[in-house]
A and B are shown apart, each in its own frame.
Chain A
Amino acid sequence: MSINRLAYNAMKAVVGDRYISEDPAICQGYRSGPGGFEGGTGYERVMTTLPHAVVLPKNTEEVQKIVKICNRYDVPYVPYSTGFYGPRTHCHVENEIIIDLKRCNEYEMDAKHFYFNVGSGVTLGALQQEAMDNGAYTVIGGGGAQCSAICNLIGDGWSPLSHRVGIPHRRILGTELVLPDGELVKMGSLATSDDPFWGEGPGPDLRGLLRGFTGLRGCLGVVTKMAIKTLPFQPEPLVPTGVSPNTQLELPLNRVKWINYIVPTKEAQVESMFEIGHAEIAAAVTKVPKFWRAIAKAEDKEEFWKLWLVEDEESIKDFFIVRVLLVGFTSEEDMQYQERVLNDIMTEQGGVARRTKPSDESWIKNADSAGMWLMCGSYVSVDYVIESLSQAVDHGESYAELKWKYTPPLMPDFGDPGWFQNFEMGHQGYSEFLIYWDQREDVEGVDKFYVDTSKMNIKHRYYTSLLGPHQPMYLTGPAYGPNYHTWMLKIKEELDPKWVSHPPVPFAHDEFVRKAPWMKDMIDWESPAELPGRKW
């Protein structure tokens, strides 16, 4: 089987010979897995396939033309930027093509008005440096500095810096979206002029449709351009030092510093985070899993395990840390003020400041998510919850309990409740749960853990952000909607009536649990005999 030759030739006419290929070796380079995000999981093995061809457009116009050709000749496609997001951003059906957007790297910065206007191939790491060179900053999302800024903003887009900067929705300004049929939608102020400065535009705010809470992984077309808001930073340079792997940004401590506090109880941890937000100080406030500290200290995975396995359930249970990043945004006096307020809060909560490196290894310029592979070889962020700080704690405990059930194949983490932090000055509590395993193990438990996580969230009525693309829609939709799944289906069929944009998303996980024999006994929810969507 092959895609229609007329379609292939038409795409070649758009991008030129050099930027399209169906060579088997070229396509093999776009294989999903076997390593990477969700590496070795059933979803990766059951749901992904090699692309038939790969095409690299240079700009919005070329993307539009390619998508229209795909519609005309019934060629399914998936947009792809850095490819880091594992199987969900790789081909799912035979004779699908990848639209690799790395050449769409248009970039401009409006330093006066604090925003970038970028194409899909521009990464967060590059933007952060450009921002800092111009007295501003942005967020390196958890996916990492190497991620496409647009992709990260429509998918995730947060980090501990979201304490002050806020959730990603607020940083998306004027945006261009090539709809699944190739028509161009301009959002925000781009809808009425060439000025992308505003996120809000006439009519309904389509940014919500674009990303929901965590995006729809390419099933509603291709975002080709976005204006991204930046915020003012302090003026002192942050100097990179060290030789890989021990690299860090040396901080100007009069203006930027991390402080780690150990607090006596979980209640004190939450209360101090709340109070810091209430006082409207700090640039980041977070609690990280203890084993992340071992990752940061370890030279290699063997050293990580030596460091980590001295811990046990007791030592984890009684470990409460609050990491605070202070930035004197306006002056040294601002910094001193914040530090005094912080010390007052932490003293009240019984917090003790521990020696903290005068440098930043992660979050200002590098999310370091690739380091998460160090200890086991495979990992995935299985759940994000944005609710309240107190809820984050409850969620963490439920989650830790569930995780034990699946350990092994998950790594022994001694019940660490995960990562949580302030968003938007403590108005929201963010919790994220990451799991780690060795993909050479029998990993059916990982697949089951996914679905069990949804069931746990439904049971306890936790609001999870990974409702849409990562879970069976017919499990989560009725529980959260009650018509969330049918709403999604209507949107999909309205905008992509031919189902050419990354099928079978958003019903891919539903299909996976049906296809994987080991998932059969997990299915205790109702769904139609035949899943919606076109069969390729």
Chain B
Amino acid sequence: MSVLDQKFGDRYDTPKTPVAFDITNLDNFVYDMQHCCKCKGCYWVEHTYNPGMNFPVRCASNLWNDFDAYGAMGKTRIGLAIHEGKLEWTDKLLEIIYACTLCGACDVGCKRNLDLEIELTLEALRVKAVKDGAAPLPAHKKIVDNIATNNNYFGATESRTKWITDDIKVADKADILYFVGCSTSYANHGIAQAAAKIFNATDTPFMLLKDEKCCGNTVFSIGMFDEAKKIAEANIADIKATGAKTVVTSCAECYRMLKVDYPKLLDIATGDLGFEVLHLIEFADKALVEGKLKLTKPVDVRFTYHDACSVSRLCDAWIPYKGERGWMGMIYPGMRRRRGRQGLYEQSRNLLNAIPGADFVEMVRLRENAFCCGGGRGTKEAFPEFSQFAANHRMEEIQYVGAEAVVSACPWCNSNFSEAIQENGANVKVMDIAEIIASAVEI
């Protein structure tokens, strides 16, 4: 019992309830679902940063479908009804729960004022859907099968390392392990090549896993907790077997999985993984500051930066928590909430501002208020119309600020934007942050 409970607890009848962040049990998030006040901080860009009538919304899901049910304020109420057995799983309900990239905009918006665990609640709802047999959806089942059969998202049977060209030096043994990821290995070779070029340009030896497997992002994101846990255990064992001290990813989703969701799945802290997890942004920023990375080659482009969700508001280190909630909803012992403040906002901008010759212009919605591209975490496969809508909407913003190119730090954003451009014909180039950095490196 906290000191505060001791002072006032006897005057009130507040029940004491356990608190845990275990997403396999929806009970753990009943308090959060009960305390949404419909302020819609989950929906609008944070008030201080509200840009006016153009692009004031941060929730892609609720902008796609206007009913409140599609925003976190609706999903929390729906979640309660599911918990209380008042709602049956239907196609519409599954669309509400899954036409969402779990981008975390609602979570940081809520934590502006209320400290409710919205992201975890949404994850727990998906775990519940799977437990109840309502999920995975057919499109998701196909991805899960691909991963189970061929260890990659796409079900590809060819080598994961076709991206390696003759000029790329890969070490047999190194302190740094480059975890390439499915999208980069199979669909975005340029990103892997650029990442390797950055390692080589800084004289940093890096190795690869002998037989890299999918990080399990989609499996986890759709609520298949047990299956995702097995993938996490296998990948952690493989990484540890290499003796790597640091894992570097160029994929935002792999980064979040390794840094945040593997520890969550295993009920350990990020710091207890046994290795450090970095995104290439962090590696390159450190190298730039230390003078190892020299960006000297002019790049003639006016570009903007899209803060990919998993290197921004979703990447605060994971800390397991178990405690008790008492008087006035206080938890004991206290904890520092994950508010998305560890996002790589400054590091990415340090790098982008150092690109010579380029004109870096910010978007209207940025950092923790950025609007998700709509492409990640299995959403595109199950709800392509939603993903296309989100990418097109973000593309409008990219063009609104007059950018010729959009730079992201996630190959899934890269693919989704590229496909949107193919559809809508926007005259915008899509680049990964690794690619624009590499293009500024003299070889």
Contact = CB atoms under 8 A, between A and B. Distances in A.
B109 interface: yes
Contacts of B300: none
B31 to A, nearest CB: 8
Contacts of A377: 35, 328-329
B173 to A, nearest CB: 39
Listed residue (A103, A249, A305, A361) with the most chain B CB atoms within 10 angstroms of its CB: A305
A125 B108 contact: no
Nearest to A80: B68
A353 interface: no
A263 B331 CA distance: 37
A134 B18 CA distance: 51
B298 interface: no
Contacts of A366: 47-48
A409 interface: yes
Nearest to A19: B66
B68 A305 contact: no
Contacts of A28: 69, 74, 77-78, 81, 86-87
A35 B14 contact: no
A245 B328 contact: no
A370 B66 contact: no
Interface string A163-206: 00000000000000000000000000000000000000000000
A309 interface: yes
Nearest to A245: B112
A36 B37 contact: yes
Contacts of B108: 244
A25 B368 contact: no
A29 B8 CA distance: 35
Interface in A92-133: 100, 102-103, 107, 122-123, 125-126, 128-130, 133
Given A23-B92, A125-B50, A440-B14, A245 B39 contact: no
A56 B65 CA distance: 11
A100 B340 CA distance: 31
A247 B87 contact: no
Contacts of A122: 53
Contacts of B283: none
Given A19-B66, A83-B68, A83-B73, A369 B48 contact: no
B67 A305 contact: no
A358 B134 CA distance: 53
Interface in B52-77: 52-53, 56, 66-71, 73-75, 77
A373 B113 CA distance: 7
B10 to A, nearest CB: 10
Interface of B is mostly: loop
A199 to B, nearest CB: 23
Contacts of B109: 244
Interface in A51-68: 54, 56
A302 interface: yes
B36 A123 contact: no
B238 interface: no
B115 A82 contact: no
Interface string B1-44: 01010011001111100000000000000000011111111011
Interface residues of B, number: 72
Contact of B48 (A36, A240, A305): A240
B312 to A, nearest CB: 10
Nearest to A371: B113
A84 interface: yes
Contact of A243 (B50, B115, B367): B367
A30 B68 contact: yes
A368 B66 contact: no
Nearest to B34: A34
A180 B80 CA distance: 34
Interface in B302-332: 327-332
A305 B329 CA distance: 11
A365 B51 CA distance: 11
A409 B113 contact: no
Nearest to B92: A23
A370 B113 contact: yes
B113 A368 contact: yes
Contacts of B114: 370, 373-374
A359 to B, nearest CB: 10
A21 B77 contact: no
B37 A370 contact: yes
Contact of A25 (B37, B90, B327): B90
A306 interface: yes
A37 B329 contact: no
A29 B74 contact: yes
Contacts of B331: 302
B299 interface: no
A245 B38 CA distance: 18
A39 B68 contact: no
Contacts of B11: 408
B51 A129 contact: yes
A145 interface: yes
A157 interface: no
Contacts of B44: 123, 125, 145-146
B141 interface: no
A411 interface: yes
B49 interface: yes
Contacts of A311: none
A228 interface: no
B13 A247 contact: no
B265 interface: no
Given A122-B53, A125-B50, A374-B115, A21 B67 contact: yes
A353 B36 CA distance: 38
A338 interface: no
Nearest to A89: B38
B107 to A, nearest CB: 10
Interface string A432-464: 000000111110000000000000000000000
A214 B218 CA distance: 49
A34 B80 contact: yes
A146 B67 contact: no
Contacts of B123: none
Contacts of A442: 13
Contacts of A102: 66
Nearest to B5: A305
A144 interface: yes
Nearest to B11: A408
Contacts of B7: 309
18 contacts: A19-B66, A25-B78, A26-B92, A28-B77, A28-B78, A29-B70, A100-B67, A123-B44, A129-B52, A146-B40, A146-B41, A245-B113, A301-B330, A302-B334, A371-B113, A408-B13, A409-B12, A439-B34
Given A126-B56, A377-B328, 10 more contacts: A31-B77, A35-B34, A36-B36, A145-B47, A240-B49, A243-B343, A306-B4, A368-B113, A373-B35, A376-B329
Interface of B: 2, 4, 7-8, 11-15, 34-41, 43-44, 46-53, 56, 66-71, 73-75, 77-78, 80-81, 86-88, 90, 92-93, 96, 108-109, 111-115, 327-332, 334, 336-337, 339-341, 343, 345, 367-369
Interface of A: 19, 21, 23-26, 28-31, 34-37, 39, 54, 56, 82-84, 100, 102-103, 107, 122-123, 125-126, 128-130, 133, 144-146, 240, 242-245, 247-249, 299-303, 305-306, 309, 361, 365-366, 368-371, 373-377, 408-409, 411-412, 438-442
Nearest 8 pairs of A and B residues by beta carbon: A29-B74, A29-B69, A366-B47, A370-B39, A129-B52, A145-B47, A370-B113, A125-B50
